[in-house]
Amino acid sequence: MPTILTYHSQILSGDDYARNDHVALAADLRLLTDCARPVVPLSFVLDAFDGLRNWSSLTHAVVLTFDDGAVLDWRDIDYPGLGPQRSFANLMRDHIEQTGTPLCASSFAIASRRAREEMDRLSLFGRGWLSDDWWSEATREQMIAIESHGLDHDHPDVDPTDPKRGNFARIDDPQSCALQIDRASHDIERISGRRPQAFAYPYGQASDYLRRHYLPSRGPQIGLRGAVSTEPGAVGPGSDRWWLPRYVCNRDWCSTAELRRLLESH
Ligand SMILES: [Zn+2]
The Å distance, Cα 147 to ligand 1 centre, comes to 12
Query: What is the mean predicted confidence (pLDDT) over 101-123?
Result: 97
Degrees, nearest 5: CA angle 147-156-22: 50
The Å distance, Cα 232 to ligand 1 centre, comes to 16
The Å distance, Cα 153 to ligand 1 centre, comes to 7
Q: What is the pLDDT of residues 171-196, one digit of tens each?
A: 999 999 999 999 999 999 999 999 99
Q: SS3 of 77, please?
A: strand
Task: Give every CB contact of residue 220 below 8 A, 6+ residues apart in sequence.
Answer: none
- 81 burial (CB, 10 Å; 0-12 / 13-18 / 19+) is exposed
Whether the predicted pLDDT of 217 surpasses 90: yes
pLDDT confidence bin for 11, thresholds 50/70/90: confident
Residue 256 near residue 27, CB atoms below 8 Å: yes
The Å distance, Cα 8 to ligand 1 centre, comes to 9
Nearest to 196 by CA among 130, 106, 71, 69: 106
Helix (H) or strand (E) holding 3: strand 3-7
- For 180-224, the DSSP string reads IIIIHHHHHHHHHSS---EEE-GGG---HIIIIIIHHHHGGGGT-
The Å distance, Cα 55 to ligand 1 centre, comes to 29
The Å distance, Cα 106 to ligand 1 centre, comes to 13
Domain carrying residue 140: 3-264
The Å distance, Cα 4 to ligand 1 centre, comes to 16
Q: What is the pLDDT of residues 18-70, one digit of tens each?
A: 999 999 999 999 999 999 999 999 999 999 999 999 999 999 999 999 999 99
CA atoms within 13 A on the CB side of 9: 31
The Å distance, Cα 9 to ligand 1 centre, comes to 11
> What's the domain count of the chain?
1
The Å distance, Cα 202 to ligand 1 centre, comes to 5
- Give the Cα separation of 169 and 167 in Å (integer): 5
Contacts by 152-156, CB closer than 8 A, 24 or more apart: 152/110, 152/111, 152/112, 152/114, 152/115, 152/180, 153/68, 153/110, 153/115, 153/119, 153/202, 153/203, 154/180, 154/202, 154/203, 155/110, 155/115, 155/118, 155/119, 155/123, 155/202
- Give the Cα separation of 74 and 158 in Å (integer): 24
The Å distance, Cα 98 to ligand 1 centre, comes to 31
The Å distance, Cα 165 to ligand 1 centre, comes to 14
- Give the Cα separation of 151 and 185 in Å (integer): 8
The Å distance, Cα 119 to ligand 1 centre, comes to 11
Query: What is the mean predicted confidence (pLDDT) over 67-83?
Result: 97
The Å distance, Cα 182 to ligand 1 centre, comes to 18
Phi, psi at 175, each rounded to 5°: -70, -45
- Which CATH number does the domain housing residue 57 bear? 3.20.20.370
The Å distance, Cα 54 to ligand 1 centre, comes to 31
The Å distance, Cα 128 to ligand 1 centre, comes to 17
- Please report the pLDDT score of residue 266 as a whole number: 87
The Å distance, Cα 157 to ligand 1 centre, comes to 13
Residue 42 near residue 2, CB atoms below 8 Å: no
Whether the predicted pLDDT of 9 surpasses 90: yes
The Å distance, Cα 203 to ligand 1 centre, comes to 6
Q: What is the pLDDT of residues 144-163, one digit of tens each?
A: 999 999 999 999 999 999 99
The Å distance, Cα 84 to ligand 1 centre, comes to 23
The Å distance, Cα 86 to ligand 1 centre, comes to 21
Q: In the chain, what percentage of residues exceed pLDDT 90?
A: 99
Q: How many residues does the chain have?
A: 266
